[in-house]
Amino acid sequence: MLGTTVTRRLLTLALLGALVGVPGVALQSTPAIADQVRERQYWLEDYRIQEAWQITRGAGVRIAIIDTGIDATHQDLVGAVAGGADFSGMGSVDGLTPVGPDRRHGTMVASLAAGRGNNSVDGVIGSAPEAELLSLSMAFSGSVVSADDQVANAVRFAVDNSADIISLSLTRNTRDWPESWDRAFSYAAANDVVVVAAAGNRGSGTVSVGAPATMPGVLTVGGVDQDGQASDSASSQGITIGVMAPSEGLVGATPGGGYVSWSGTSGATPIVAGIVALVRSAYPNMDAPNVINRVLLSANRVTETIPDPIYGYGLVDAYEALTADVPYVSSNPLGSIDDWVVLHRKQEGNPIVVPLGPQSTVADEDQALPPRIPARDAPQWGLLPYVVTVGFASALSVVVLTGVVLVLWRLRKR
Mean pLDDT of 382-399: 52
Q: Which pLDDT score, from 0 to 100, does residue 127 have?
A: 98
3-state secondary structure of 100: coil
With a cut of 70, say whether residue 251 has pLDDT above it. Answer: yes
CB 98 within 8 A of CB 29: no
Which amino acid is located at 40 in the chain?
Answer: R
Of 105, 127, 135, 204, the catalytic one is 105
Comparing CA positions, the residue from 74, 165, 163 lying closest to residue 125 is 74
Backbone angles phi, psi at 368, to 5 degrees: -65, 130
CB 57 within 8 A of CB 271: no
Comparing CA positions, the residue from 222, 91, 80 lying closest to residue 150 is 91
Of 235, 247, 266, 281, the catalytic one is 266
How far apart, in whole angstroms, are the C-alpha atoms of residue 96 and residue 274?
Answer: 20
β-strand partners of 2: none
Which amino acid is located at 215 in the chain?
Answer: M
Which amino acid is located at 302 in the chain?
Answer: V
Q: Cis peptide before 101, with omega less than 30 degrees from 0?
A: no
With a cut of 90, say whether residue 384 has pLDDT above it. Answer: no
Mean per-residue pLDDT of the chain: 81
Q: Which pLDDT score, from 0 to 100, does residue 224 have?
A: 94
Q: Cα dihedral angle (235, 21, 98, 242), rounded to 10 degrees?
A: 0
pTM comes to 0.78
Torsion region of 349: left, alpha or beta (phi above 0 gives left; psi -120 to 50 gives alpha): left
Torsion region of 394: left, alpha or beta (phi above 0 gives left; psi -120 to 50 gives alpha): alpha
How far apart, in whole angstroms, are the C-alpha atoms of residue 329 and residue 292?
Answer: 10
Mean pLDDT of 33-41: 81
Comparing CA positions, the residue from 350, 355, 297 lying closest to residue 323 is 297
Q: Active site includes 105?
A: yes
Query: Count of CB atoms within 10 A of residue 178's CB?
Result: 15
With a cut of 50, say whether residue 398 has pLDDT above it. Answer: yes
How far apart, in whole angstroms, are the C-alpha atoms of residue 260 and residue 131?
Answer: 22
Q: Find how far residue 166's CA is from the centre of its chain.
A: 9
CB 72 within 8 A of CB 114: no
Which residues contact residue 236 at a Cβ distance below 8 angstroms, ignoring those fewer than 6 apart? 199, 200, 201, 202, 206, 207, 208, 209, 210, 222, 265
CB 314 within 8 A of CB 245: no
Percent of the chain topping pLDDT 90: 64
The runs of H, that is alpha helices, within 34-123 are 34-39, 43-46, 49-52, 105-114
Q: Which residue has the higher pLDDT, 228 or 405?
A: 228
Q: For 131-135, 216-220, 234-238, 377-381, which range has the lowest pLDDT when averaged over its residues?
A: 377-381
β-strand partners of 116: 125
Which value, in Å, is the radius of gyration of the alpha carbons in the chain? 33
Q: Which pLDDT score, from 0 to 100, does residue 405 have?
A: 55
Comparing CA positions, the residue from 120, 104, 125 lying closest to residue 10 is 104
Percent of the chain topping pLDDT 70: 72
Q: Note the CATH number of domain 34-344.
A: 3.40.50.200
CB 249 within 8 A of CB 261: yes
Comparing CA positions, the residue from 221, 260, 234, 249 lying closest to residue 71 is 260
E strand intervals along 62-172: 62-67, 81-86, 116-118, 122-125, 132-137, 165-168
Q: Active site includes 344?
A: no
How far apart, in whole angstroms, are the C-alpha atoms of residue 130 and residue 63?
Answer: 11
How far apart, in whole angstroms, are the C-alpha atoms of residue 97 and residue 137?
Answer: 8
CB 101 within 8 A of CB 92: no
Q: Which pLDDT score, from 0 to 100, does residue 232 have?
A: 72
With a cut of 50, say whether residue 91 has pLDDT above it. Answer: yes
Q: Active site includes 266?
A: yes
Q: Cα dist. 381→198, 297, 371 in Å?
A: 75, 76, 19
Q: Which pLDDT score, from 0 to 100, does residue 17 have?
A: 33
